[in-house]
Amino acid sequence: MKTDLVQKSYEIAKERYAAIGVNIDTALEQLQKIAISIHCWQADDVVGFENLSNMGGGGIQATGNYPGRARNIAELRSDIEKVLTLIGGSHRFSLHEIYGDFGDKVVDRDQVGPEHFASWMQWAKEVGLKLDFNSTSFGHPKSGDLTLANPDKEIRDFWIEHTKRCRAVAEAMGKFQDDPCIMNLWIHDGSKDLTVNKYQYRSLLEKSLDEIFATEYKNMKDCIESKLFGIALESFTVGSHDFYLGYGAKKQKMVTLDMGHFHLSESVADKISSLLLFTPEIMLHVSRPVRWDSDHVVILNDEVTDLTKEIIRANALNKVHIGLDFFDASINRVGAYVVGIRSTQKALLQALLEPLAKLREYEANGQYFERLALLEEAKSLPWNAVWDYFCLKNDIAVGEDYITEIQQYEKDVTSKRG
């Protein structure tokens, strides 16, 4: 019965959208091809699989203690494979360096190599994912408040070597999958209170980056991620948006825009059209800040829909890469993935269904009432019927049906992890 209802609703929606010049079949074809880079760290609360002792310093905080956290690589992969059965399209998987397959060996971060991710490459190939990568500067005895911007040359060189090796890992991933691996560089460096040597720290960071990027690769792409502030580093962030925007434009590096790394009154969507003029590509970390960079699960809100609309309006799907970055340990983690991914895809679908040709015509003619009216009317068009059809065509749960599937997986799998 539900299949018939979905099909009928889709046919009605098709006629409704055609009346305003939108071909929903074309929109669905585009949505099918948009890859979202699914982050590994939601599954285990950003713990990773290192065997290093005395971990700490510059950490990332996941709040909550909902049972069922992935405790090893096998469990994390199992969770992701379940997620893949509940989402449509072809996607990517983003790994942090601390998620390497180290076995029982102690491998410090300046010793990591492609061999520690060989099993990840094979697994990704088997499940139909492409890999992305991230260096990891937090949660280590040498993290402290400063890593790549540290005046202590020994510590700074440690992190430079770590990041160089991460780029080599990303190159190996890209070559293996015959598709460029995007490697994100984010550091937490900063200061809790008033800082008088800002220029020195930023100068050191620039020199570190120059050394890291000295080697050019063909099978990976670099992106650099800014932040407004960090926990216990509230007064000064070395890698600010201004810093990385300048560095990215100067060196033609991809800049990462994390939706949680800006002041809540800033529009990340508005930055898209500007960055595209001066940097080769953009990496997005889609997240949901609540009062601060708290990385809540992505939902279908105005911030996300504004973001996706700007991408489509700029005709920039080939220049903007979409990744997720949230970690909520207070709810079912597999459920968090599915809600976040599906919400992002819904926002993309809404953007693809926008009557852009008519809107641009109105704007070019100075018909601003007409433009505003059509933008408002488009909000209530039956995009949800098109979404249900997308799910049906991908043979995944339609509507809220995925809730019971995740509940069953919790009963059969995650609840037994202790």
Catalytic residue among 39, 82, 91, 285: 285
Catalytic residue among 132, 258, 303, 410: 258
Respond yes or no: is residue 186 known to be catalytic: yes
Respond yes or no: is residue 96 known to be catalytic: no
Rounded Cα distance between 371 and 389, Å, is 28
Respond yes or no: is residue 293 known to be catalytic: yes
Respond yes or no: is residue 295 known to be catalytic: yes
If DSSP codes are grouped into helix, strand and coil, which group holds residue 236?
A: strand
Beta bridge partners, 183, equal 133, 222
Strand 92-96 to strand 36-39: parallel, antiparallel, or no bridges (unpaired)?
parallel
Catalytic residue among 227, 253, 309, 321: 227
Catalytic residue among 41, 159, 186, 383: 186
Catalytic residue among 145, 325, 354, 410: 325
Rounded Cα distance between 384 and 23, Å, is 15
Strand 190-191 to strand 236-237: parallel, antiparallel, or no bridges (unpaired)?
antiparallel
**CA 164 to each of CA 134, 169, 185, 304, 411: distance values in angstroms, whole numbers, following the listed order:** 12, 9, 11, 33, 42
Both structure tokens of 240: 């600010």
Rounded Cα distance between 391 and 385, Å, is 10
Rounded Cα distance between 408 and 350, Å, is 31
Catalytic residue among 39, 82, 96, 261: 261
Q: Contact at 8 Å (CB) between 185 and 135?
A: yes
If DSSP codes are grouped into helix, strand and coil, which group holds residue 222?
A: strand
Catalytic residue among 44, 79, 145, 295: 295
Catalytic residue among 293, 303, 354, 388: 293
CB count within 10 Å of CB 51 equals 11
Respond yes or no: is residue 227 known to be catalytic: yes
What residues act catalytically?
A: 186, 225, 227, 258, 261, 285, 293, 295, 325
